[in-house]
Structure 1
């Protein structure tokens, strides 16, 4: 007796189909029902049916995506799709994925009967080879376990920095190999405005993401070692493996521009692409992905249909050049000290000064978006984004800020956000951390302005200085002094871009003993003097590209 699984997100429709199948063709056995593609994959793996009857429009994983995975994992499985409206793109996509037939809602009994008869004939004619069922089930389950783990967890885990050696071995076992030491992440998002609300609402949003994923993967396959996948119903991500850090970033930006142009020319839609900086090793991939997300968020400020590289943001990111440095410093200190009252007061001062000096409401919103993006990045580095925002999405927060037209409401909303962040930072600092290296990194980032020594930091994490030095180098790939210098130079560059402080004052506030020492270290790290770096910033050039 042939076996079939029904997949539809509406329980009433599933029950109706089950009843119709029993009445029209009793030779068929309905062995399971699933609400979406994820449930369907599990059922197929467990029950090994002969056919699947699936709707296209479903949450989480739609019928098109389900067909793709079924085609890879269960080549003998027959599939028929159901569409609720006569849209050629759905039918065309289904047939490309190997669907035997399709049915239109509402399903007519006569049509369903014909399809069941044809399916049954296919099952009988193409009868599977006789093998031990236990071996077949074991083989299918093993393949399913590996591929499902990769598709649902491993790539996402790479981006979020939570993979281990066993996970990487699983990746290699299905042919996903990384030969080069460096990685860069790209996040691609559809500009909904380029479609129009009518067209977007009429179509299945996930199909747009699938289309973007396919086009991006085609471009990557021709030019680099990279993998593209759908992260969610609104986001496509790409992980690119590159041999050289500096030169490759130029090429990755060109790839982004190529994707953007092809998307417009082939489909008349636009996308915005965020690109993270190149990083070394698997454990640093999450950093590049986070940078790509941050770069993409700048779409709210500079508009869509662009490629936005994280490393280039600082060129236009002189956040507070029109404001006194004191209001910014006051706010920064209050947040990192975790003082609620000081944060609320500093936000009031900052917003009030911003509103009084800005020449348009747009400038106010832009500056506040940049401010919140700065703290979003800070929260990400401290590993407390979820703790800070909870279930909220940063994009939604920024759009909400841009909808406010009252100065008092802006103060209130920004105060609530930054007070919550300050509390998270204070609570996090108060909790003993298990990982001494992570704790030491945070200690460096909070105390870089002081005359830090290796022994002081080792004492702070309760380790012997010699052992701490060795462990730090093993874990970070650089020495304690190199990391401290990196943090100090990064902060110095930020101050030169965002404040009008004198270079001598910046040197003092970032932990350098004197201006001569600062000049020497800065030039050694960046290839140019602090004065030349600031001059290029003021001229609108990008000193990071030198």
Structure 2
């Protein structure tokens, strides 16, 4: 049974269309109706219908804008647009937003049912094709992550390529696991790797929306997404990794060694998390088999009597967080001088220490800013450069560059006191509510974002739809005018953005439970 949603601002038309598709013999299930594009998006988000039937001309968000957003978020949904205007420009716009079809009112029910059946048939064919593609996806997923990690992908293309490949990683932070099948050469390699992969998938299914795929040689790799509420450190990841190790040992009678990467914010952090997991796995010979560990398990052979590295690291983080660039350089200079005095320390150990400092800075930075990516730091490039550097001076120059840029960014963030985007939008509405036809698209243009983005962030930040806030603003002003001024209802309607006094009266009564005339009598 295919699910259908109907969106139209005309209640009579909504009821008529609902009656058509309430008949089960057509093979369709009506999952809901909505009176405008904004509420239509909420209905579609909640019910995920296969087919949407929508009017074009509606308040707050028209059908064309809604269809564009629907096709961007859910390209598989088939949208059929309705209009009472036989204008070629509407047909052109319908094509632009990738609508399935475009039908003129008045609507012939038989023709509409036939059109909906065609849309359902096309949806079914696309689903079968997608299933065939999905069967080859594991290999494509592995190829994508190898390209991301080894060759790099432009940050603005990462999400697009993931979307194209159907990779869903919903979370604000990410971590990578490297899973080495111990003694794979003595086992049936391919079968054992596939069995370990299935165990990983089963563990993720009960815990987290992770993805696992074959890596090089005797290894598998997994990418795990985490929400801010779910995890604040690596302990949760270690728990998941330990479950994998336990089930492999008990069900396959073999062992795996798992290196846990550090947690990073944003999709581009996957690269750095992999590199921290790889650094740990390359030191596996110091840890042994059948275990779970991370780079944090390693300490470095330094003469701590001559320096207190932990105290210096804490001081460095404090100076960066406060945005004190000059003090940051002073702390790093002291660390550099102390290291130079430790002449016996191997270069590899200094590199690992530097990576630990950078990891600490990134981790702490994520705690005080939600816009970490705006700092424009190339984490992967910094890591790779440090692993190639040959002197302490070069390594500390790189650390200094990162730390100073983070401090400058922290300083800028602290000084910024501009109103939020939603507050700007609300201010514009409060100053222009009297404009007839004031729309989400118009306000979005004024604050320089897309209508879809403004609609979403408006609901998130203020807990109210754009349309409801506009209605509230207009009604409060109308109540004020009716109470304090000797004005006719039609005059008030015009002053708050309604050219149709009857429609204004309907909206006013719905909002206050009084008609404008009755409300005026109350005063």
The TM-score bracket by the shorter chain reads: 0.3 to 0.5
Taking structure 1 as the reference length, what is the TM-score of the superposition? 0.35
